Structure 1
């Protein structure tokens, strides 16, 4: 997504994997015009609700928003527009074992692919690997190998 608070077509994207990297659940939905910050926080809320409802515990939530990471892990004061969502996240966190980590945008390739699918088809929900679109299956398999993605430029 774009810079902090940029208004754009928002996509709620939730992707849950187990410790082996296998798909547990994926959800992507077009949520209309919103900010990237709102979309990111809404996705975290949805993911944590899903985990709570399914009895999943010992959760690691990854976000590519450094600001949201610092609000959740370092106690930064949230923007007023996301305050209620942050409160819900922290309430759920107190009832479960949850940690948050910041990942670089490059590590978010699967989320981007699912977001593009949601923009094309309005929504997507997957409960197993076979339900994922083929491009997403390729990215997930690549992620599981933990081979870094290298981009090499050559001179002509």
Structure 2
């Protein structure tokens, strides 16, 4: 029974034509569309597929948009064109045609999951993936003599933030370490406060030459005044600059794989919701990370495509 008032949900989801179109494509993609009550829910369901930049994500985003557009065009033609005949199968063919043509022009920056090849085969889509990059070797960066290395990192989870860091000689020998829980905050706040805490400790220990090492490119840009600092972080950055002016400070961006110790300490602060320092000889995991860096044992960095 047709409703007296045409709703968007009926037209685009529950009408005879919409049901035919969605059944075809949801089967191909392996998506269950039962119990959907709104277009927002429909789009949210489809948009979850694949990683951004992959062909899988592009198809999961493009398919529902084209389906909605073609259903709307058919409705307008049925309403305003004399002698119009329903053409459900033709719409499905047209949508598949556009998917094929757009996939031919698209150059993905990330790889699709292996199971997407089955979807592409069902729809006749060309499968594309960027070339797999070879893994690279990453070492802890030794600062120039007589500088010490201050490795810092921040951690944020569920709206809570923590930070950690370690200070070592250029030979990798442990001087001190720290971790701290900051409470409510973002990852950028955690990175900023971890750097401030690290510089504060360097001053307390009388260390005059410090190389900051962080895997946050934003922190490096903010420190070098190459990016605008958010107002919410400005009070901490004011303190950072004051403390950095009291020492000879360099800063370097390092890969996360070369910042394992600081990453471990920041996660420790998050896990235990506290602050302090770990005994570098009694904590087995910390001891292993420090020894690996001291003896120049490499870490493997894999591409994220």
Q: Tell me the TM-score normalized by structure 2.
A: 0.45
1:147 maps onto 2:301 in alignment: no
CA deviations 1:91-121 (Å, max 9, x no partner) are 1112210111111122221122223332333
- Aligned residue in 1 for 2:285: 135
1:95 maps onto 2:246 in alignment: yes
- 1:127 deviates by 7.3
Which is higher, the Rg of structure 1 or of structure 2? 2
- Aligned residue in 2 for 1:114: 265
Residues 1:151 and 1:82: Cα distance change in structure 2 (over 3 Å) = closer
Q: Give the number of the structure whose residues are more often strand, by fraction.
A: 1
Q: Is the contact made by 2:163 and 2:265 (CA closer than 8 Å) also made in structure 1? A: no
1:55 & 1:88 partners in 2: Cα distance? 17
Flag the structure with more relative contact order, 1 or 2, with Cα contacts below 8 A and sequence separation at least 6.
Answer: 1
1:6 & 1:129 partners in 2: Cα distance? 25
1:98 counterpart SS class = strand
2:259 counterpart SS class = helix
Structure 2: where are the runs of 5+ without partners? 1-153
Pick one of 177, 196, 206 that aligns with 1:55.
206
- 1:29 deviates by 2.1
1:16 maps onto 2:184 in alignment: no
Structure 1: where are the runs of 5+ without partners? none
- 1:74 deviates by 4.3
1:46 maps onto 2:197 in alignment: yes
Residues 1:122 and 1:56: Cα distance change in structure 2 (over 3 Å) = same
1:71 counterpart SS class = helix
- Aligned residue in 1 for 2:217: 66
Q: Tell me the TM-score normalized by structure 1.
A: 0.83
Residues 1:70 and 1:151: Cα distance change in structure 2 (over 3 Å) = closer
Structure 1 residue runs of 4 or more that deviate by more than 6 Å after TM superposition: none
Q: What is the root-mean-square deviation in Å for CA atoms of aligned residues? A: 2.4
Pick one of 242, 256, 271 that aligns with 1:105.
256
- Aligned residue in 2 for 1:76: 227
1:114 & 1:144 partners in 2: Cα distance? 17
2:239 & 2:231 partners in 1: Cα distance? 14
Residues 1:123 and 1:26: Cα distance change in structure 2 (over 3 Å) = farther
Q: Is the contact made by 2:164 and 2:180 (CA closer than 8 Å) also made in structure 1? A: yes
1:95 & 1:49 partners in 2: Cα distance? 10
Count, aligned residues = 149
